[in-house]
Amino acid sequence: MAQKINFKELNKELESILEDFQKEQIDIEEMVAKYSRGQQIIKELKDYLKLAQNKITKLKT
């Protein structure tokens, strides 16, 4: 069974990653890992929003 996406928690995690990138003392390995995780979160959030948009469209018709 697919894991339910918690939009609010994923958004909060993404904000935390962005804050980490603004710090000057982040090493390259950590930066690459956080960038990769950020990309994954963005994809999950986009998929979630697309699904929500499709549901709303169906309700309108």
Query: Which amino acid makes up residue 31?
Result: M
Per the model's pLDDT, the better-predicted residue between 1 and 35 turns out to be 35
Q: Is residue 2 part of a domain?
A: no
> Is pLDDT above 90 for 4?
no
pLDDT given for residue 1 in this prediction: 36
**CA 42 to CA 59: how far, in whole Å?**
26
Residue 45: inside a domain, yes or no?
A: yes
Q: What CA–CA distance (Å, rounded) separates 6 from 59?
A: 22
In a domain, 1, yes or no: no
Q: Summarize the confidence of residues 37-61 as an average pLDDT.
A: 94
43 assigned to some structural domain:
yes
The domain tally of the chain equals: 1
Residue 46 falls inside a structural domain: yes
* Range(s) of the domain holding residue 36: 7-60
Structural domain contains residue 55: yes
The C-alpha atoms of residue 23 and residue 18 are separated, in whole angstroms, by 9
Tell me whether residue 36 is in a domain.
yes
pLDDT in tens, 22-40: 887 888 999 999 999 999 9
* pLDDT of 2 over the 50 cut: no
At residue 3 the predicted structure's pLDDT band, cuts being 50, 70 and 90, is low
